[in-house]
Amino acid sequence: MNWNNASFVRKVIYLVGIAVLLLPIAALSQPATAGRGQDRSSGGKLAQLRAQYRLAQAELGAIDPASETMKLATVGLRGVAVTYLWYKAIDYQKRKDFTGLELTVKQIIRLQPNFLKVWDFQAHNLTYNSSVEFDSYRDRYAWVKKGIDFLILGTHYNRDEPGMLYQLGWYVGHKMGRADESKEFRRLFKDDEDMHDKFRLQGVEVDEGFGYDSKPDNWLVGKLWFDKAERAAEYKSIRSKSPLVFYNGGPMAAINAAAAMEKDDGIFGQRAKYAWSVGNAGWVKFGNRQLPTYLGIAIQLNNLEALQASHAATEVRLDALAPGVREKIRSEKIAALPKRELELWVKPVKDRTAEEQHVAVNFLGSKVKATNEEVAARVPREKLAQAREIADQLQRLTQEMDMTSRYRGTVNFDYWRARCSAEQTQEALDAREQIHKAEELREANRSLNDSRENYEKAWENWAIVFKKHPQLFDSIEAQELVDAIDHYADVLGRIEVKFPADFKLKELLEMTEQGQRLKKRLDTLQAIAPAVTPAQPGEKKPESTENPAEKTKAEEKPAAAAKDAAPTKDEK
Amino acid sequence: MPFEHHIIEYWEWMLPNLSEVRLLDARSWSNIGFLMGASGVLLLLAFLFPFLWFLIAVIKHGPSEGFYLVAKSIYGGITEDLPGFSFRRTYAIAKVAVQEAIRNRVLVGFAVFVLLMLFAGLFLDVENSNRAKSYISFVLWATNCLVMLMAVILSAFSIPNDIKSKTIYTVVTKPIRAGEIVLGRVIGFSAVGSVMLLMMGLISYVFVVRGLSHTHVLKADSFATKADPTGKREGVTSRDAHHRHRVIMDKSGNITTGETESEHGHFHRIESEGEGANRTYKVGAARGDLIARSPIFGKLRRLDPAGNPSEGINVGDEWTYRTFIEGGNNRSAAIWTFSNVTPERYPEGLPLEMNLSVFRTFKGVIARGVMGEITLRNVNPDAKVKSSPPITFESREYVAHRFPIDRKLKIGKNPDGTDLTMDIFEDLVHEGKIEVSIRCIEHSQYFGIAQPDVYLRPSDSFFFVNFAKGYLSIWLQMVLVTCFGVMFSTFLSGPVAMMATWCAIGLGFFGGLARDVLTNLVTGGGPIESGIRILQQKNTSSDLDVYLPLELAIKYSDKAMLVVVEGLTYILPNYGNFDTSQFVANGYDVYPDLVGQQLTMAVVYALSASIAAYFFLKTREIAG
């Protein structure tokens, strides 16, 4: 050994350095070994972390040799390759080369199989953005299916990922059930045996999602996916999804299934009632679920009334410790109001303008209100500690009530609870069936008198329903009733009968913008039309003279028909 | 056609259209025609190259000596080397090149290709909705990449290796000219590439045909028990190759069209045997996926709702390949004028095929396509019969919609009750021309059209021939790469020549981007600005956020670099122009004019590169 040779010395130093570095490297990256007893090892730090956070490739999902090969083949330039592929995918989509888009997207996910946002984005891209580019509804359905298939593939690479499973429920339920082509999509879904088989392979028992016709209903199958997502969320994080929205999916799917059964499929009576009862049960269960909030407290949506009662009772306890103090504080605050505000406060309600009333209620009301902390501060010294404890309790209750109220508003909890309850009543069931029959007769342009009769029975039933559940006025479904009222007016027009002055759902018309426009139009027509006595029950009025054959001709010339006809829902 | 394509006839491409050229608009310079453009560039190079050569010679040897050297080389090349060119010696060099290529294990490239074919199933999306397109695109892409790689490596290292190992001296001491060395190597390497390409092409063809081959089973109980209001019943075939087909049966139990519905870009013919409960169906092989349509294109003009010529409406699409015509009015139309329309060519009538796009402003009737109308018109304004009665059709998007128009069109009834007809050729064709007018008849709906979207399809070419044309394009690219590789290798070392060849290929593919950046068609700036934006993670349209003087310096530096790159793009071949994979993959024949353009470009570039290589080699002291 020639220690004077600089090159030799350098090599020795390097070798020693390598040997020294091997120690921490081994500590970090030693793999875990399986075995029995002492033969078993948890491995180095990285292996331990992988086990702790379940990040090993085999734990994330299936191992795909093609994916691993492609990742290796990019020799560290995976980011560049992926960027290029994303650019190509956007370009293909721009040029409406959807075959190319599909192929490129499949290549992207091979390079980024565990990047969840990629699956989320591209599945949405295929299902929503690409499908609408096709004119034929069959082609649209095929592309919605592709998005769903794509996401199912994603669940192989990312096992039991709640967000992905939720998305699947959303696409099967909402995309198919809420699209403009929902009728066609739902029909195709019912008969799509290939898709059903694929779902069964993923552990979704499609047979449990049968509708009234013993075929899978898209909403109920969507609910099965939501349920699967909820089961996965028991041991995996839902990541950035809101728990409120996440757990809302399943119950809403059941409710939507019930609504679609009546609206799209024309099924009423006991079957519809049962479907709504299932929806109701799911909604109650959702309301009883403990939902974490961003404040760190958990709430239950069903609990608001109990919280309000508890709050009132606790306030009474606080007031008992300091009788009359609350009113005294209030009086002091009123007396301390500036002159203008005081004048407004003492002004009788009937003399106030709408703006003054708004200011008085929302601004002055809270200004003069005595807070619980103020009341607690004036409690006698010996009861002060107790008062403060009660005040703290009241503050927590207020916070919880506030969050519960907000979360309820987010998911329209009160409305759906009322709706589930109302839809199970005989009046609602009958009303829906009557509207359905009336609309069918109207569209077929036959038996217009029977159509009118059905409408009028429906209005009576709806009036009863709305009286019991006034919150149902303010909803999209109420909006659809206004459409039905418009059609009713059209039927009356065809049989030359005046629109009734004592119309049962006048309040509904006044509550919606479309209703107000309709009311104005009807009032105008009433004013200029000659007085025509409404037909007595049993008296036949002349039927429409239009021939169904002429109606077919009108369909063949949609340009002319579309120009002349009043705007329908489809044309908007 | 689902891909963007602009039809340019050969002479239209070759000759200038000076009325469309605007000096200040670089995008309009393509209208000067290839002949004028190439001549201009070659003339410029013919002056520039000797001038630069003279400058270098002056630095080395002084002005008079330098001039003498340059003049002697050029004069010698024209008067001695060109007449003395020997095909025998060139062939000998070519043979050596072939042996060298084999010794350099060029067959490894072929082995890689075979491996790719064997394991392609793992990477290809077998559930894709157009498997033919994806398979064909894959094999063409794989072949292209491997052949180009092989051509670069072979051509770039050959001469430099000879120079390095000094074997070149044993060659140049023989009575061999520089031109023969260059051409021999080009021919030799091209020959090796051609043989490999041929083998790859055959394997690819078998791969595609075998991979797509499948059939289905159709049983009598596959049909719905309940008929629809028109009396038709729908059934489905078995699921094979990840799909199944719908089948429509009419009231009498026959398959409506004798075929399945189209799915995944193809259909199958169905033969039925037996009657009633004993009826069986035999589903044939897939058809319509491996085809080569030979369309006859017309000239398109559009009319706006006022009946005036127009460019069409943009409905908000980023891709402006198609423009739209409005429906619901009598004047807005797209009119194609077809020439050479004769009864001999189209005895049955007009074999029309359409690829229309649809844009709905409202849903309308979801279950049906938007309705349109075709009218055949006489180009002669004084003709007795000006147009045919309108023929209604239901639009179909993203499919090549075959809509043959019979020669005899029914226009009414004779007094004796027989049909009154008109003959297209006798009544509407004038001097071999006829107009086909297409309108959308639904109010507030639009049809999207581009010129190649509607054409006459009298017959198809053979898929195998079209596939071969696709490989011809790859072969032309390979020859060009070889020529440029050899050219660079005459004055650069092996690795540098390889880099230069790759750069030339890259410029060929991405040169258009440089032009787009210079003309602000693409935002984001040149290389320096783009690099800064990447590091700062800024998008292409936000401000650079640097000091103004620095920003100006960056912009002007980028512009200078891009101008140089743009200049090079006019000298180097655009390999994108040689890409015909879209035609083959989408089932359209690579039309003869395009093949002619590619051959012309290839010959011009190959010759130019070879001549340049000859002079480069001559300037080196090794080449006598």
Q: How many domains is chain B built from?
A: 3
* pLDDT given for residue B623 in this prediction: 47
Residue range A279-306, pLDDT digits in tens = 999 999 999 999 999 888 899 999 999 9
ipTM value for the complex:
0.86
For residue B271, tell me if it sits in a domain: yes
Which residue of chain A comes nearest to B123, CA vs CA?
A: A66
Which residue of chain A comes nearest to B125, CA vs CA?
A: A103
Residues on chain A touching B360 (C-beta within 8 angstroms): 135
Sheet strands (E) in B192-347: 233-236, 246-249, 267-273, 280-287, 292-293, 296-297, 299-303, 309-310, 323-326, 333-338
Residues on chain A touching B112 (C-beta within 8 angstroms): none
Q: Is the pLDDT of residue B299 over 80?
A: yes
Average pLDDT of span B452-479: 94
- A482's CB contacts (< 8 A; 6+ apart) are A508, A509, A512, A514, A515, A518
Q: Do the chains contact at B365 and A194, CB–CB below 8 Å?
A: no
Radius of gyration of chain A (CA): 33
Which A residues in the span 74-103 are in contact with B, Cβ-Cβ below 8 Å?
Answer: 94-99, 102-103
Average pLDDT of span A388-393: 91
For residue B365, tell me if it sits in a domain: yes
pLDDT-based confidence at B268, cuts 50/70/90? very high
Average pLDDT of span B571-580: 88
Are B373 and B266 within one domain? no
Are A157 and A284 within one domain? yes
Distance between CA atoms of residues B102 and B188, nearest Å:
11
* pLDDT given for residue A43 in this prediction: 81
Are A278 and A336 within one domain? no
Do B436 and B336 touch, CB atoms closer than 8 A? yes
Distance between CA atoms of residues A216 and B63, nearest Å:
91
For residue A132, tell me if it sits in a domain: yes
Distance from CA of B120 to the nearest CA of A (A): 10
Are B224 and B365 within one domain? no
Are B275 and B339 within one domain? no
For residue A412, tell me if it sits in a domain: no
Do B455 and B295 touch, CB atoms closer than 8 A? yes
Residue range B85-108, pLDDT digits in tens = 888 888 988 998 898 888 887 778
* pLDDT given for residue B119 in this prediction: 82
Percent of chain A with pLDDT over 70: 90
The separation between CA A212 and the C-alpha centre of its own chain, rounded to angstroms, equals 24
Residue range A300-346, pLDDT digits in tens = 999 999 999 999 999 999 999 889 999 999 999 999 999 988 999 98
Which residue of chain B comes nearest to A181, CA vs CA?
A: B366
Q: Do the chains contact at A137 and B128, CB–CB below 8 Å?
A: no
Average pLDDT of span B64-73: 85
Interface test with A, best of B1, B3, B122 (most A CBs within 10 A): B122
Q: Does A62 touch chain B (CB under 8 A)?
A: no
Q: Is the pLDDT of residue A1 over 70?
A: no
Cα→Cα distances B448→A240, A295, B311, B360, Å? 42, 54, 12, 11
Residue range B256-267, pLDDT digits in tens = 788 999 888 899
Residues on chain A touching B365 (C-beta within 8 angstroms): 555, 558
Percent of chain A with pLDDT over 90: 54
Q: Is the pLDDT of residue B208 over 90?
A: yes
For residue B148, tell me if it sits in a domain: no
* Domain boundary residue, one of A269, A289, A309: A289
Are B267 and B227 within one domain? yes
Question: Which residue did the predictor score with more confidence, A541 or A266?
Answer: A266
Q: How many domains is chain A built from?
A: 3
* pLDDT given for residue B546 in this prediction: 82
Residues on chain A touching B358 (C-beta within 8 angstroms): 135
Cα→Cα distances B344→B376, B430, B432, B471, Å? 19, 15, 11, 33
* pLDDT given for residue A36 in this prediction: 60
Average pLDDT of span A509-529: 82
Q: Do the chains contact at B370 and A135, CB–CB below 8 Å?
A: yes
- Report the DSSP beta bridge partners of residue B438: B334, B374
Angle, CA B145 vertex, CA B143 and CA B149 arms, to 5°: 115
Mapped onto helix, strand or coil, the DSSP state of residue B2 is coil
Q: Do the chains contact at B364 and A562, CB–CB below 8 Å?
A: yes
For residue A54, tell me if it sits in a domain: no
* Selection from A118, A115, A142 nearest residue A130 by Cα: A142
Average pLDDT of span A418-435: 93
* pLDDT given for residue A557 in this prediction: 41
pLDDT-based confidence at B187, cuts 50/70/90? very high
Are B286 and B340 within one domain? no
Distance from CA of A153 to the nearest CA of B (A): 12
For residue B524, tell me if it sits in a domain: no
* pLDDT given for residue B33 in this prediction: 82
* Selection from B582, B565, B559, B581 nearest residue B506 by Cα: B565
Q: Which amino acid is at B244?
A: R
Domain span including residue B255: 220-292
Question: Chains A, B: CB contacts under 8 A, how many?
Answer: 85
Average pLDDT of span B408-426: 89
Cα→Cα distances B532→B107, B563, B565, Å? 43, 20, 20
Are B304 and B433 within one domain? yes
For residue B355, tell me if it sits in a domain: yes
Could you tell me the maximum CA-CA distance found in chain A, to the nearest angstrom?
A: 125
For residue A384, tell me if it sits in a domain: no
Residue range B515-524, pLDDT digits in tens = 788 777 788 8
- Average pLDDT in chain B: 88
Task: Indicate the range of A31-45, A176-190, B428-442, B484-498 predicted with least confidence.
Answer: A31-45
Q: Does B327 touch chain A (CB under 8 A)?
A: yes
* Selection from A370, A369, A375, A368 nearest residue A391 by Cα: A375
Interface test with A, best of B1, B373, B398, B447 (most A CBs within 10 A): B398
For residue B467, tell me if it sits in a domain: no
For residue A74, tell me if it sits in a domain: no
Distance between CA atoms of residues B507 and B565, nearest Å:
8
Q: Is the pLDDT of residue B228 over 70?
A: yes
Are B366 and B244 within one domain? no
The encoded tokens of residue B239 equal 């699921």
Q: Is the pLDDT of residue B6 over 80?
A: no
Domain span including residue A475: 425-564
Percent of chain B with pLDDT over 70: 98
Mapped onto helix, strand or coil, the DSSP state of residue A539 is coil
Q: Does A134 touch chain B (CB under 8 A)?
A: yes
The domain that holds B352 is classified in CATH as 2.60.120
Q: Do the chains contact at B358 and A103, CB–CB below 8 Å?
A: no
Are B309 and B441 within one domain? yes
Are B305 and B288 within one domain? no
Q: Do the chains contact at A558 and B442, CB–CB below 8 Å?
A: yes
| Residue found under tokens 């080397």 | B81
* pLDDT given for residue A242 in this prediction: 92
DSSP conformation class of B26: G
* pLDDT given for residue A58 in this prediction: 66
Q: Do the chains contact at B366 and A97, CB–CB below 8 Å?
A: no
For residue A473, tell me if it sits in a domain: yes
Are B263 and B392 within one domain? no
For residue B128, tell me if it sits in a domain: no
Residue range B105-119, pLDDT digits in tens = 777 888 888 888 888
For residue B246, tell me if it sits in a domain: yes
Distance between CA atoms of residues B494 and B511, nearest Å:
24
* Domain boundary residue, one of B236, B268, B292: B292
Q: Is the pLDDT of residue A472 over 70?
A: yes
Which A residues in the span 161-180 are in contact with B, Cβ-Cβ below 8 Å?
Answer: 180
Residue range B333-358, pLDDT digits in tens = 999 999 999 999 999 899 999 999 99
Average pLDDT of span B234-254: 88
Distance between CA atoms of residues B30 and A25, nearest Å:
61
Q: Is the pLDDT of residue B396 over 80?
A: yes
Average pLDDT of span A45-71: 77
